[in-house]
A and B are shown apart, each in its own frame.
Chain A
Amino acid sequence: MTLPSLDNPIVWILAIPLGSAGFLAVLPNWRLATWVNILVSGASFAASLMLFQHRPEPTRLLFIDDFNVYLVVLTAFVGFTTSVFSAAYIARESKGARLSDAHLRFYHAMYQAFLFTMLLALTANNTGVMWVAVEAATLTTVLMVSLYRTREAIEAAWKYFILCSVGIGLALFGTTLVYLAAQPVMGDGADAMAFTMLIKRAAAFQPDLLNLAFVFVLVGYGTKVGLAPLHAWLPDAHAEGPTPISAVLSGLLLNVALYALLRFKMLIAANPHTLAPGPMMVAMGLSSLFLAAFMLYRRGDIKRLFAYSSIEHMGVITFAFGMGGALANFAGLLHMTMHSLTKSAIFFAVGVITQNAGTKNIADIRGLTVSHPLLGWAFVVAVLAIAGLPPMGVFMSEFLVLGSTFASQPLLAVPLALGLLLAFGALASRLQGMAFGEPSQLKGYAPPGRASTAMVYVPLWAHLALVVVAGLYLPEPLVDWFRAVAKVLG
């Protein structure tokens, strides 16, 4: 195997975060580290934009196609904006006694390592490399969730470790089964693990083995997507880790796990004799939607509230891909993008809100639009967007999911609409108390400086602007592109 050349953007996209993870691990000054973190995340994002100009040839290990290119760019973008928010968050957090210098060094190194593993999972052409990357992503996030070392953080990290390790263990068994199904047709070795080669000849694979493999992959990677009933780790991990990590967990990691699942779904769908993978995904999607919609009503912790909202949206997306067909796939892809942008924006806002208020308890957070107008209204817009109110992008994608379901399976559209309305009601009622009324007393850190404030507001409003614009107008090339991908997904 020859090493890929340096003009290949994938090399840069992977080398920048990996190299900087090593560099940040030894950089002693954490203030400098926050800036280096922003700089290298920006460089990764710039490298990912090069993919539009120059699409590299697939190798047996790495590849870029229409589907993953947009996820790579989205991941690099949200990774970049979150690094900006993270700098402001960490600067305030360091005033408290919770984090030592060594912890912060570790945090920044793990942040880049985490971005590397996600980008590797997205660009992997080899089922085994993808698995190793998702496993490493689990490891880095487990370590970051436990960063505060409180009793809750350790329990959350333990639960996350146990559940997701079993999950990825099962995904590995599924991966092995896919290899066994492919091996008689493709021969031994790396060819029988490369997605680009598998998909061409999947029709000749043994269907029963593929069915069994898909069940394992669905349960395995589905645990990581946070699909009910395998979601138990997700609210704890989101609630107890540092807030920038909640933003990338929700906005990016769940997408990556779903991407892995969809790659395998494409393989199964390419074989005419297998069971249809759709109904299983529809069932898991609906159960996640309902479970999360009901759980939203009883939440007392603001980060946990939005973690359940992530389960809800991953349920909707899985449902959409389970329905399949050009329109539902289109809606699923759009919803993945919109959810990622909106949910990370919400966590940016939540990070500042909890730092101001000194609590995550919803009952103790009131009157945000009065006390901090710019932040408060951004929070209102973001929560209304995630709840699915027009004209924001999430509304449009949810509307498309619902519309395409009505067209193909009207009976399934009823529970879907009900679940979405339930979730909307929960979020709207929670939002009212937090956003309006007499402001609560602020018991958190001292107000941030001007630069720090800007570093939260710029990424926050940038995400929201994208979401609002996408709801009103999608550029023609983007629509064509989503359409092309939706067709590939089958």
Chain B
Amino acid sequence: MQHTQLSYDLAHLIGATMLMAGFALLYQRRIYAVLNTFAFQALALAAAAAWQAHVQNAPHLYATAAIALVFKAILVPAALHWLVDKLGIHRTVETALSINWTMITGVALVALSILLVLPVTANAAALTRESLAVAMSIVLLGMLMMITRRNAVTQVVGFMALENGLLLAAVSAKGMPLVVEISIAFSVLVAMTLFGIFFFRIRERFDTLDLHYLETYRGERH
């Protein structure tokens, strides 16, 4: 199928929606709101993957879309909701950097990725080009969230937001093989680490998920 104006516009619309969700993640003050916003971003990723599957005529991307929809937009947020409930974690987001400064840094990062990506992809297909700039912005915003939020749940959400950006880049790269395998690998990593090990063990050991309590340990014991 040809890249018509519609396929181009819709891909951008979905990408921009994901980017907005990336910003929205940065200014949430309540954990439930963070989880809902993340679920929305994952939903947009599923839409982006499905649209690329249609435009590129690449049916395997529907599998990526399904994984994003079921695992990231429904299962993970629901499980995190349950954990926050169950473990009685603070419902407010603790920040290492004030929300205003986080937003300003976020805008700067988006500008940076546009300035970096657009010149170097001058020869690439237009569809890929802007998606890549958006994807890189989402990746950097995810990193920013991981750095500026103290709580283990918000750090994981930051990582998965980063991953959303990576998958957006991968599905937008025309004809890239192994995208499904990559999204499965990410899901397994998050699922195994998160639910197999950490939450239950951290609960067992600390009765809290706030990494602040972990920070007293500096590695050396005397």
Chain A residues within 8 Å of B, Cβ to Cβ? 126, 128-129, 131-132, 135-136, 138-139, 142-143, 146, 149, 151-152, 154-155, 157-158, 161-162, 165-166, 169-170, 172-173, 176-177, 179-180, 183-184, 187-190, 192-193, 206, 208-209, 211-212, 235-236, 239, 299-301, 304, 360-361
Residues of A within 8 A of B174 (CB): 183, 188
Q: Could you list some 20 contacts between A and B, CB below 8 A?
A: A129-B178, A132-B185, A135-B186, A139-B189, A151-B214, A151-B217, A152-B217, A152-B219, A154-B202, A157-B197, A162-B159, A166-B159, A172-B182, A179-B173, A187-B175, A188-B174, A188-B176, A193-B178, A212-B116, A239-B219
Which of B10-18, B24-32, B64-72, B120-128 contacts the other chain? Answer: B120-128
Which listed residue (A126, A154, A162, A169) contacts B139, Cβ 8 A? A169
Which of B44-52, B79-87, B103-111, B162-170 contacts the other chain? Answer: B162-170
Shortest beta-carbon distance from B170 to chain A in Å: 5
CB of B221 within 8 A of CB of A143, answer no
Shortest beta-carbon distance from A85 to chain B in Å: 25
CB of B189 within 8 A of CB of A132, answer no
Interface of chain A: mostly helix, strand, loop or mixed: helix
Decide yes or no: A162 and B181 within 8 Å by CB, A139-B193, A212-B116 being known contacts: no
CB of B121 within 8 A of CB of A209, answer yes
- Asked if B152 lies at the interface with its beta carbon under 8 angstroms from chain A, I say yes
Which listed residue (A152, A165, A173, A193) contacts B136, Cβ 8 A? A173
CB of A361 within 8 A of CB of B170, answer no
CB of A132 within 8 A of CB of B220, answer no
CB of A180 within 8 A of CB of B132, answer yes
Shortest beta-carbon distance from B199 to chain A in Å: 11
- Asked if B195 lies at the interface with its beta carbon under 8 angstroms from chain A, I say no
- A157-B198, A183-B173 provided; 13 other pairs, C-beta below 8 A? A128-B177, A128-B181, A143-B193, A146-B197, A158-B152, A169-B166, A176-B170, A176-B176, A180-B124, A188-B175, A209-B120, A301-B221, A304-B220
CB of B220 within 8 A of CB of A143, answer no
CB of B201 within 8 A of CB of A146, answer yes
CB of A172 within 8 A of CB of B221, answer no
A404 to B154, CA, bound (A): 48
Binary interface encoding of chain B residues 124-162 relative to chain A, with 1 for a CB under 8 A from any of its CBs, else 0: 100010001001100100010010000010010001001
Chain B residues within 8 Å of A, Cβ to Cβ? 116-117, 119-121, 123-124, 128, 132, 135-136, 139, 143, 146, 152, 155, 159, 162-163, 166, 169-170, 173-178, 181-182, 185-186, 188-189, 192-193, 196-198, 201-202, 204-206, 211, 214, 217, 219-222
Shortest beta-carbon distance from B161 to chain A in Å: 11
Shortest beta-carbon distance from A231 to chain B in Å: 13
CB of A176 within 8 A of CB of B169, answer yes
Residue of A nearest to B56 (CB): A188
CB of A128 within 8 A of CB of B162, answer no
Shortest beta-carbon distance from A92 to chain B in Å: 21
CB of A128 within 8 A of CB of B182, answer yes
Shortest beta-carbon distance from B36 to chain A in Å: 23
A138 to B190, CA, bound (A): 11
CB of A126 within 8 A of CB of B201, answer no
Shortest beta-carbon distance from B74 to chain A in Å: 22
Residues of A within 8 A of B206 (CB): 151
Shortest beta-carbon distance from A464 to chain B in Å: 29
CB of A208 within 8 A of CB of B119, answer yes
Shortest beta-carbon distance from A118 to chain B in Å: 16
CB of A169 within 8 A of CB of B124, answer no
A179 to B166, CA, bound (A): 13
Decide yes or no: A183 and B202 within 8 Å by CB, A158-B214, A172-B170, A361-B221 being known contacts: no
Residues of B within 8 A of A184 (CB): 123-124
CB of A300 within 8 A of CB of B222, answer yes
A146 to B196, CA, bound (A): 11
CB of B175 within 8 A of CB of A183, answer yes
A146 to B204, CA, bound (A): 13
CB of B222 within 8 A of CB of A161, answer no
A177 to B121, CA, bound (A): 10
Residue of A nearest to B136 (CB): A173
Shortest beta-carbon distance from B200 to chain A in Å: 10
A190 to B175, CA, bound (A): 9
A299 to B219, CA, bound (A): 10
CB of A166 within 8 A of CB of B132, answer no
Residues of B within 8 A of A170 (CB): 139
Shortest beta-carbon distance from B17 to chain A in Å: 20
CB of B162 within 8 A of CB of A169, answer yes
CB of A169 within 8 A of CB of B163, answer yes
Decide yes or no: A304 and B219 within 8 Å by CB, A128-B181, A139-B193, A158-B198 being known contacts: yes
Residues of B within 8 A of A180 (CB): 121, 124, 128, 132, 173
Residues of B within 8 A of A132 (CB): 178, 181-182, 185
Shortest beta-carbon distance from B133 to chain A in Å: 12
A236 to B220, CA, bound (A): 10
Which listed residue (A126, A162, A206) contacts B178, Cβ 8 A? A126
Which listed residue (A155, A169, A211) contacts B217, Cβ 8 A? A155
